[in-house]
Structure 1
Amino acid sequence: MKVFYSPQYVGATHAFDTTRKAGWIADSLTERLIASVEIVSPRPVSFEQLNPAHSTTYIQAVQNGNDRLLAEGNGFQWSHDLYPMVASSNGGAIDAAYAALSDGVAGSLSSGLHHASRDNGAGFCTFNGLAVAALDVLATGAARNVMIVDFDAHNGGGTADIIGGNTSVIHVDVSVDSFDRHEGSVMVDDAADYLPTCATELSDAIANNDVDLVLYNAGMDPFEKCDIGGLDGITHPLIALREQLVFDACRHAGIPVAFVMAGGYTGSRLSQDGVVELHRMTIATAVDRYACTDIIGGATPIAAA
């Protein structure tokens, strides 16, 4: 299974979990291998690939810092190394999408995506690699319909802004925090309802749509010990069941999946190692539940194990 990563993912001067944790996860994959995982360097996203999702004015602000207020809407101090970082991590999301269409499943250690809207960044997100990847595979004809599944703690209002009325993109968004809420999102405030809600929203969306590719925003910030977004009662085993749910549902429906890392932050109750272990769970689950199947490019669904 291809997992895309480059040291440029962590190249920005501004030091925060979103600009550093891809490196932590990559280091862990070198030190403690997950069988069948191949780390692959992505191609940086081009202006032409960004522009369908983001305005020229905003892209240029991030590139050259000519409008600092606009360029720093993500919450990071602008520097010349910001654009190479987000160009690489967003390129990884695109490459993971095409790899999944070819191989059945793939991932990227990208994060900081779903709050970025067409004209600005927000909430530690600069460019919206979920929307960028979806629009790219649609434009090239590699897919006819794409589903974005967002199980980050926070809502993906930036994604909703970009995809707008595009009927070729289905947006499933289950959150536990009201930040960046949009009309199509579903918010859960009781941990007992979390997994059933994720299951219902995902299964209904799969049943009611013809989907060629799922882009999965695998947020770990719903975890109860995460200070930014965590909900009491959402435990490590519950997150593990959520990951199994996503990959099993897509595998049984014959839908390729490309995943990215999304939220998950160190704090008073969650160490760097703890964040890494949560994100490794997505990768390991993808291998365990999905990567060894023969689903390629929306093949015939296979029977449940």
Structure 2
Amino acid sequence: MLSIAFAPNYAHPLPAGHRFPMLKYELLPEQLLHEGTATPADFFTAQPPPDEDILRVHDADYYQRLRLGKLTRQEERATGFPWSAELFEREITILGGTIGCAQRALAHGVAFNIAGGTHHAFRDRGEGFCLLNDQAAAAAWLLARGHARQVLIIDLDVHQGNGTAAIFRHEPRVFTFSMHGARNYPARKEQSDLDLPLPDGTDDAQYLKLLADTLPRLLDEVQPDFVFYLAGVDVLATDKLGYLALTREGCRQRDETVLRLCHQHRLPVVVCMGGGYSERIADIVEAHANTFRVAAGVWG
């Protein structure tokens, strides 16, 4: 069973410049249902969590100002989104979806958030289209309830998971691993527990070899009992904002490497979609759909 979080307000009205990348949140479920990779029973409706689940990883002052729409203009510009009540509701619902996925992954082995992966959100601020850090909140939720002893966050978006790294800088129970484009946003990187910055033009063979050499060793050393995987498809050569050169097949093999290793080690895993900004929406949706197809094959 593929447990998939979906929120009906993912596609709320946004300024024209933001609408195109948001289309994937509508099209991806349709594609998965159309081809039979998922059934309606696989989907659950994400719900906003209690404030306490957010405040484990976010400062109360920031969260309150975000809720009330009292961010400064500079703070709002840093997020890339104009504030609205609908935007706030969307963000807390996405975060709640990832916590819901963590609950379901404990039962079923794997769960997906159609959105999520808001790894540029810090404790006290948002950046780069990320207002609240969903994977950080879900990891903290697991630890607080004793559902996990050691969490591993595998961030393979083309952008470094700077907010996640900063949030868990002094938390040894969460190991942050980010493999990203060295020259990609953010210009100022934070320090993850393990960072692998990649040169421009890194292709399938180079990327997959490095991942295959790194991840099995990391699992042995960290000994996690729960994994979060950020499966951004902005690593594609077609991506407008990325500098790497993976093909769709290389991206699929990346997902298979991660998910098969999690399955082999009997590790529950939550997968969030992260970034994807190729010129053609079909390239984005197809690459994301491959992640679900791989999981259906591994856990099917």
TM-score relative to the length of structure 1: 0.89
Which of 279, 284, 300 is the equivalent residue of 2:293?
284
In the alignment, which residue of structure 2 is the partner of 1:187? Answer: 197
* Mapping 1:249-268, distance limit 5 Å: 249-267=261-279
Stretch of structure 1 that moved more, 35-44 or 108-117? 35-44
* Mapping 1:20-59, distance limit 5 Å: 20-35=23-38, 38-59=42-63
Shift, 1:17, TM fit? 4.5
Instruction: Calculate percent identity across the aligned residue pairs.
Output: 29
Stretch of structure 1 that moved more, 52-61 or 33-42? 33-42
Mapped to 2, the partners of 1:13 and 1:64 lie a distance apart of 19
1:61 aligns with 2:65: yes
- Contact 2:7/2:47, CA 8 A, preserved across alignment: no
Shift, 1:72, TM fit? 4.5
Shift, 1:71, TM fit? 4.1
In the alignment, which residue of structure 2 is the partner of 1:148? Answer: 153
- Contact 1:172/1:202, CA 8 A, preserved across alignment: no
In the alignment, which residue of structure 1 is the partner of 2:166? Answer: 161
* Mapping 1:204-219, distance limit 5 Å: 204-219=217-232
In the alignment, which residue of structure 1 is the partner of 2:128? Answer: 123
Per-residue CA deviation, residues 100-156 of structure 1 (Å, 9 max, x unaligned), is 111111111113501111111111111111111101110011111111000000100
Mapped to 1, the partners of 2:136 and 2:291 lie a distance apart of 21
RMSD after superposition: 1.7
- Contact 2:117/2:230, CA 8 A, preserved across alignment: no
Which consecutive residues of structure 1, in runs of 5 or more, have no partner in the other structure? 293-305
Q: What letter corresponds to residue 42 of structure 1 in structure 2?
A: A
Which of 206, 217, 224 is the equivalent residue of 2:237?
224
Shift, 1:12, TM fit? 5.1
The 3-state SS of whatever aligns with 2:130 is coil
Which of 213, 216, 229 is the equivalent residue of 1:200?
213
Mapped to 2, the partners of 1:2 and 1:34 lie a distance apart of 12
TM-score relative to the length of structure 2: 0.90
Seen in structure 2, the aligned counterparts of structure 1 residues 35 and 11 have a Cα distance that, compared at 3 Å, is closer
- Contact 1:4/1:109, CA 8 A, preserved across alignment: yes
The 3-state SS of whatever aligns with 2:79 is coil
Mapped to 2, the partners of 1:186 and 1:266 lie a distance apart of 23
Q: What letter corresponds to residue 292 of structure 2 in structure 1?
A: I
Shift, 1:88, TM fit? 0.9
Mapped to 2, the partners of 1:21 and 1:219 lie a distance apart of 12
Stretch of structure 1 that moved more, 201-210 or 27-36? 27-36
Q: What letter corresponds to residue 131 of structure 1 in structure 2?
A: A
Mapped to 1, the partners of 2:291 and 2:196 lie a distance apart of 22
* Mapping 1:57-136, distance limit 5 Å: 57-69=61-73, 70-111=75-116, 113-136=118-141
Mapped to 2, the partners of 1:89 and 1:13 lie a distance apart of 16
The 3-state SS of whatever aligns with 2:228 is strand
Mapped to 1, the partners of 2:10 and 2:94 lie a distance apart of 5
Mapped to 1, the partners of 2:58 and 2:175 lie a distance apart of 19
Stretch of structure 1 that moved more, 160-169 or 53-62? 53-62
In the alignment, which residue of structure 1 is the partner of 2:4? Answer: 3
Mapped to 1, the partners of 2:222 and 2:207 lie a distance apart of 23
Mapped to 2, the partners of 1:6 and 1:156 lie a distance apart of 23
Stretch of structure 1 that moved more, 86-95 or 54-63? 54-63
Mapped to 2, the partners of 1:30 and 1:61 lie a distance apart of 39
Which consecutive residues of structure 2, in runs of 5 or more, have no partner in the other structure? none
Q: What letter corresponds to residue 94 of structure 1 in structure 2?
A: I
